[in-house]
Structure 1
């Protein structure tokens, strides 16, 4: 796998990850255990309650890979997929705003 690049500043890192996938660098990272504040935990729970379930068909290989990557990160695979969707939507909005 690729070595995780070093950046001079946050702006350089943002520019890099706007055009590169983080998946190639997962092997270079370690899962991080984070203690969440009670306020933040409550906020997460409230957002969970407002989510609308959907049916999404994925290829078996994509699902298998998502589960494997999620285990490495120490999070549920559904959370990882939601994160990817959120990142993709954000990226598209940024592209629109830049145009």
Structure 2
């Protein structure tokens, strides 16, 4: 075990989580135990509707190129932009 800083003791998992969020844990890595538990991830499916939007060809080509640079489908990039703008313009309309 390293001679670095000593990992604090915590009364519960909430205290541990709060501490981890506010500290750089890299100095404590040698003292931590690797998690081996399997976690089941359930994906929530949201209802969707198709949206037909007409764009100038060069705009769509630019969007497709940027999405490719970012390794995303262009529809995902456009959806991200729309959600960011909606969050800015009308956060009260966003579901939690």
Larger Rg, first or second structure (1 or 2): 2
What's the TM-score, normalizing by structure 2? 0.49
The answer to which structure, 1 or 2, has the higher relative contact order (CA under 8 A, 6+ apart) is 1
The answer to which structure has the higher helix fraction is 1
What's the TM-score, normalizing by structure 1? 0.48
